[in-house]
């Protein structure tokens, strides 16, 4: 199988064992047929953003970004990510509500139509420090189509995004993959 379509996926968790949820998700994505995780950002921590603004009373999020190369197109990739969210115990209640795991596609190559089920690039990525900061750290040369260099967007954000000391996410997949 040819594994060549690049995509960037954002991961978030603000309930339960947040770090383990991110690690389980990265491993599950790497185990998808035809999908290989090629890079991962450091884990960052940020206060929960709700539709009315930052909610300091809600549990804070751990976030990270990964790069994958995929033999499947964007819509099929999203279906797989939704299945992983369900399998790893996501409970979906309110919009932008607390969750054990959230997986969003930020950019993805390959044919697709923009609609409610899948919009690319992710329409809110450009204004989210918890996406931009780890993405720029993972790939300082990254571009967000329509918005420019991710490093510039990350440098301009006023969002609070803090380093979270943890072992590299890539260790989670490398250890499980035959050499
Ligand atoms: N690029 C995308 N990545 C993930 N989901 C998307 C994307 N574009 C559209 N969607 C759709 O958005 C719907 C709502 O997703 P979800 O409940 O995860 O939203 P959210 O994470 O609360 O908010 P946000 O989309 O602002 O991050 C999903 O059913 C999915 O089909
Ligand atoms: N800090 C932070 N806030 C959020 C996040 C997230 O991943 N991190 N995801 C949301 C819906 O996708 C809503 N708010």
The verdict on the CB of residue 130 being under 6 Å from ligand 2 is yes
Query: Stretch 17-46: mean pLDDT, rounded?
Result: 96
Query: Stretch 101-128: mean pLDDT, rounded?
Result: 95
Active site residue 90: yes
Query: What domains appear along the chain, each with residue ranges and CATH number?
Result: 5-174 (3.30.70.560)
Q: How far is the CA of 118 from the centre of ligand 2 (A)?
A: 18
Instruction: Assign 165 a pLDDT band (cuts: 50, 70, 90).
Output: very high
Active site residue 27: no
Show contacts of 76-83: CB within 8 Å, 24+ apart: 77/7, 77/35, 77/105, 77/108, 78/105, 78/117, 78/118, 80/29, 80/32, 80/35, 81/9, 81/29, 81/105
Q: How far is the CA of 168 from the centre of ligand 2 (A)?
A: 21
**Could you tell me the pTM of the whole model?**
0.95
Active site residue 102: yes
Q: Let me know: does 131 contact 63? Beta carbons within 8 Å.
A: yes
Dist CA 145 CA 140 (whole Å): 15
pLDDT beyond 70 at 176: no
Q: How far is the CA of 155 from the centre of ligand 1 (A)?
A: 25
Mutation pick for ligand 2 pocket among 12, 53, 132 (CB with most ligand atoms within 8 Å): 12
């Amino acid at each position: 199988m040819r594994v060549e379509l690049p995509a960037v996926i954002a991961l978030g968790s603000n309930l339960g064992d947040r770090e383990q949820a991110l690690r389980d998700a990265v491993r599950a994505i790497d185990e998808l047929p035809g999908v290989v995780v090629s890079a991962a950002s450091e884990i960052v921590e940020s206060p929960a953003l709700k539709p009315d603004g930052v909610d300091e009373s809600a549990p804070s999020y751990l976030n990270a970004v990964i790069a994958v190369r995929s033999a499947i197109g964007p819509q099929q990739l999203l279906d797989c990510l939704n299945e992983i969210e369900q399998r790893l115990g996501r409970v979906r209640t309110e919009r932008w509500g607390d969750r054990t795991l959230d997986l969003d596609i930020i950019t993805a190559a390959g044919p697709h139509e923009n609609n409610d089920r899948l919009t690319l690039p992710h329409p809110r990525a450009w204004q989210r420090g918890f996406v931009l900061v780890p993405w720029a750290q993972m790939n300082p040369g990254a571009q967000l189509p329509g918005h420019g260099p991710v490093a510039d967007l990350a440098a301009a954000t006023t969002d609070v995004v803090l380093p979270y000391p943890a072992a590299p996410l890539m260790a989670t997949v490398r250890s499980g993959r035959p050499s």
